[in-house]
Amino acid sequence: MLQLALLREQPEVVIAGLRKKFVADPETAVRAVLELDQRRRAAQTALDDNLARQNQLAREIGPLMQQKRAAEAEALKAEATQLKAAAAQLKTDLEEVEHLQHAALVKLPNLPHSSVPEGRTPQENEVVREVGAKPTLPDNAQPHWDIIKRLDIIDFELGNKITGAGFPVYKNQGARLQRALINFFLDEARAAGYDEIQPPILVNEASGYGTGQLPDKDGQMYHDAQDNLYLIPTAEVPITNLYRDEIIPPDRLPIRNAGYTPCFRREAGSWGADVRGLNRLHQFDKVEIVQISAPETSYQQLEEMLAHIESLLQKLDLHYRVLRLCGGDMSFTSALTYDLEVYSAAQGRWLEVSSCSNFETYQANRLKLRYKAEGGKTQLLHTLNGSALALPRIVAALLENNQEADGRIWIPEALRPYCGFDCLYTHELPIKPGPDYTKYWFEGDAQEYGKTGLVNSIVKRYVRENPLITGAELMKVFSSELQGTEHIAVVKPLDYAERMRVRERKRYKMDAGDVISLVDGEYVTSTQWGIHNIGNIIAKASELGYFIHPIR
């Protein structure tokens, strides 16, 4: 909510800011608030004068009675009675005009920062920077809604069955990927100095009003009318409201909080190709970062928050861009907003995954969130928040941008410790080792290199029957079944079947302690990697996404 002092002292600045946000007839809107302010101040003055006169009469009546001047005292009592009746009406009038003024004031959005570009539509947003290169996909690349169905990791039909459209069910590796992203984002926030909060996901009306969702977004929020509670659209609402009606000591600033919550948005009126799959949901998971800052440092804090969010996208190896939103595309409450978008290669378009905003004093004025500035004067604080990050479109981009021709979806290295797997895959894939390859590998090579039953017991069991087993999964097998094994072959996944079937291979006789690897069709020794320990070779090969085979 804008401060009345600003409207009184600089109405032209307010009108210009509202015009930049495309408020209809801002002159009339500002004039209406100021006229109501004059009426309120006049009503307050009349009430104050009335109460002052009553106090004066009370002081005069006592002495008159003591002086036996009953007639004069009675006249003053009559006047006091009339004043009390008038005061009751004045209070009613004051409350009415205060309500009208407040209703007019909360309809005014926040004023845009001076750096906000002119413009009405998303196409007029300013591209601040673009980071990375657009991924190159195989010819058989699929959009994420086909990938998740093929891999059976997210089920929209089941969600529709138990709840309705826009409430997907996450399954198997899909559920694990969700949990991995949440934990990764929270751990990164904690490492950046944010205190973790787990807030309620239902809030009261005062909380929705405090951060500006009410009354502006009333129709977009799920509302429990019986208890008058709202499902949160973002963790910004409960976390920022932790500090409602507080005076924060300066030595606690800036306050940094991060929290994960499910988020709920009705998204009324959304339809079309742009909302297909994970692009637009009614329920989704998100990690939010919130800061409470002194006014003089809030824009520095905003840039630090933006840098943190960018670091997450960089660690996920996603091509992204940063936008500074124009006045017409900004939220009602924001003074300056950066949007971060990732490129969806299979859809061929940008997907918003985060908004990072400074609200200056707009939310704090509603929240009565203040601090003691130098000199002891109480002032409003600045509030900031950003998505770090919202999961659905991140998942969509990861699935689409990391797909291979054989149907595998590689997991970014930073996420692998959280997932427990390095790729998403199904056994129903187009490229699988055929009978000729199997015979050639298990019979021909076994004779030449003198491999024993260990090949049949491990390789045949874990590779032939499951040709898409990953290095990370094989490592678990090898840790117990390859004790004492000194030789392994590491094979590049995409060329594995074809090269091993039809290419004439270069023979290499191994000496003790060697490890061989098929790279670009040629065998090389472990010396070229500079690694000789078998455990390190397995770890290195797994990290690079190679198949691993034991040789005895």
With pLDDT > 70 as the criterion, what percentage of the chain qualifies?
76
* Of the listed ranges 84-88, 156-160, 364-368, 418-422, the one predicted with least confidence: 418-422
Contacts of 490 (CB under 8 A, 6+ apart): 515, 516, 517, 518, 537, 541, 546, 547, 548, 549
Better-predicted residue by pLDDT, 464 or 401: 401
d(CA 37, CA 7): 10
Q: Give the pLDDT score at 523.
A: 38
* Of the listed ranges 89-93, 102-106, 333-337, 530-534, the one predicted with least confidence: 530-534
Tell me the pLDDT tens digit for each residue of 82-100: 999 999 999 999 999 999 9
Look at residue 336 and tell me whether its pLDDT is greater than 80: yes
Tell me the pLDDT tens digit for each residue of 14-68: 999 999 999 999 999 999 999 999 999 999 999 999 999 998 998 888 888 888 8
Confidence band (pLDDT; 50, 70, 90) for 327? Answer: very high
Confidence band (pLDDT; 50, 70, 90) for 435? Answer: very low
Computed over every residue of the chain, the mean pLDDT equals: 81
* Of the listed ranges 133-147, 257-271, 279-293, 528-542, the one predicted with least confidence: 528-542
Torsion of CA 372, 374, 378, 383, to 10 degrees: -70
Tell me the pLDDT tens digit for each residue of 109-152: 999 999 999 999 999 999 999 999 999 899 899 999 999 999 99
Contact assessment for residue 393 and residue 353, using Cβ atoms and an 8 Å cutoff: yes
Look at residue 508 and tell me whether its pLDDT is greater than 60: no
Contact assessment for residue 387 and residue 287, using Cβ atoms and an 8 Å cutoff: yes
* Of the listed ranges 45-54, 148-157, 382-391, 406-415, the one predicted with least confidence: 406-415
Q: Give the pLDDT score at 538.
A: 53
Read off the pLDDT of each residue in 344-358 and give the average, rounded to a whole number: 96
Burial degree of 157 (CB within 10 A; 0-12, 13-18, 19+): exposed
Look at residue 526 and tell me whether its pLDDT is greater than 70: no
- Write out 240-289 in H/E/C secondary structure: HHHHCCCEECHHHCCEEEEEEEEEECCCCCCCCHHHCHHHCCCEEEEEEE
Tell me the pLDDT tens digit for each residue of 442-463: 333 333 333 333 333 444 445 4
- The tokens for 289 are 């970062």
Read off the pLDDT of each residue in 358-367 and give the average, rounded to a whole number: 96
Better-predicted residue by pLDDT, 354 or 375: 354
Q: Give the pLDDT score at 540.
A: 57
Tell me the pLDDT tens digit for each residue of 218-240: 888 999 999 999 999 999 999 99
Angle between helices 172-191 and 144-151 (to 10 degrees): 120
Max mean pLDDT range (343-352, 414-423, 530-539): 343-352
Tell me the pLDDT tens digit for each residue of 261-282: 999 999 754 555 578 899 999 9
Look at residue 375 and tell me whether its pLDDT is greater than 90: no
Q: Give the pLDDT score at 473.
A: 53
165: number of Cβ within 10 Å = 11
Confidence band (pLDDT; 50, 70, 90) for 215? Answer: confident
d(CA 540, CA 546): 9
β-partners of residue 154 are 170
Better-predicted residue by pLDDT, 104 or 535: 104
List strand residue ranges (DSSP E) for 472-552, in order. 487-491, 516-519, 522-525, 547-551
Q: Give the pLDDT score at 541.
A: 54
Contact assessment for residue 283 and residue 263, using Cβ atoms and an 8 Å cutoff: yes
Look at residue 397 and tell me whether its pLDDT is greater than 60: yes
0.85 cut: is pTM over it? no
Which amino acid appears at position 459 of this protein?
V
Q: Give the pLDDT score at 550.
A: 42
Confidence band (pLDDT; 50, 70, 90) for 492? Answer: very low
Q: Give the pLDDT score at 443.
A: 34
Look at residue 483 and tell me whether its pLDDT is greater than 50: no
Q: Give the pLDDT score at 295.
A: 96
Which amino acid appears at position 52 of this protein?
A
Confidence band (pLDDT; 50, 70, 90) for 424? Answer: confident
Max mean pLDDT range (47-51, 407-411, 530-534): 47-51
Read off the pLDDT of each residue in 194-199 and give the average, rounded to a whole number: 97
Q: Is the peptide bond before 253 cis (omega within 30 degrees of 0)?
A: no
d(CA 50, CA 60): 15
Look at residue 484 and tell me whether its pLDDT is greater than 80: no
Q: Give the pLDDT score at 448.
A: 34
